[in-house]
């Protein structure tokens, strides 16, 4: 007998190895006990979901469903990353408290003036003023 046949013969002997007698009956009882325990432990939502799925025994999630969902999520994430939504500054500002006022410096008003180019005007005629000898309102003093 060559070595290979001998080896195969030995390996076939391993098929005769058995667990202790009565093992398989005990195994089935233990399986039933664990199944019942798992059923009792399962949250109501899980039981409801399993019952719900049981209404459509032929329902099968399409093979590409998970891949498609992952792709859509990745694309949405990438879009948000490139173009984050503008946040409303007022909405994000923290409410003003009394202590904020105490710390506040007095407002500085800066007069905003913009240089405006004015059209060139003809030179104004030179004016001169002559003082009148009498004030504009003058009454002769009363004489009695």
Partner 1 sequence: MDDSTASDEELVARTQAGEVEAFDELVRRYSPRLYGLVYNMTSHHEDTDDLLQEIFAKAFRSIRGFRGRSRFHTWIHAIAVNMTLNFLKRRGRRGMMSLDDVDNGVQSDPEFLKAAASSDPLRQVALRELQKKLNEAMQKLSNEHRAVVTMFDIQGLPHAEIAQILGISEGTVRSRLHYAHRQLQNHLKEFMKGLEG
CB crowding 95-121: b at 16 or more within 10 Å, else e: eeeeeeeeeeeeeeeeeeeeeeeeeee
> CB-wise, 23 or 66, nearer to partner 1?
23
Q: Is residue 15 close enough to count as binding partner 1 by CB under 8 A?
A: yes
Q: Is residue 108 close enough to count as binding partner 1 by CB under 8 A?
A: no
Q: Is 133 helix (H, G, I), strand (E, B) or coil?
A: coil
Pick the stretch among 29-37, 71-79, 84-92, 112-120 that binds partner 1 (CB under 8 A): 29-37
Q: Is residue 35 close enough to count as binding partner 1 by CB under 8 A?
A: yes
Q: Which helix (H) or strand (E) is 46 found in, with range? A: helix 44-54
Size of the chain in residues: 144
> CB-wise, 16 or 81, nearer to partner 1?
16
Q: Is residue 30 close enough to count as binding partner 1 by CB under 8 A?
A: yes
Contact status, residue 59 vs residue 53, Cβ threshold 8 Å: yes
> CB-wise, 30 or 100, nearer to partner 1?
30
- Closest approach of partner 1 to the CB of residue 99, in Å: 58
Q: Which of 22, 43, 44, 54 binds partner 1 (CB under 8 A)?
A: 54
> CB-wise, 16 or 109, nearer to partner 1?
16
């Amino acid at each position: 007998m060559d070595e290979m046949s001998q080896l195969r013969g030995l390996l076939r002997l391993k098929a005769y190895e058995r667990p202790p007698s009565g093992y398989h009956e005990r195994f089935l009882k233990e399986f039933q006990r664990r199944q019942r325990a798992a059923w009792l432990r399962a949250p109501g939502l899980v039981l409801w979901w399993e019952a719900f799925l049981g209404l459509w025994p032929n329902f099968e999630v399409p093979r590409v469903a998970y891949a498609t969902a992952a792709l859509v999520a990745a694309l949405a994430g990438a879009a948000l990353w490139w173009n984050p939504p503008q946040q409303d500054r007022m909405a994000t500002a923290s409410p003003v408290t009394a202590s904020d006022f105490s710390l506040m410096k007095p407002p500085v008003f800066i007069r905003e003036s913009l240089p405006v180019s004015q059209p060139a005007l003809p030179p104004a005629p030179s004016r001169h003023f002559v003082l009148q000898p009498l004030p504009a309102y003058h009454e002769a003093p009363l004489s009695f």
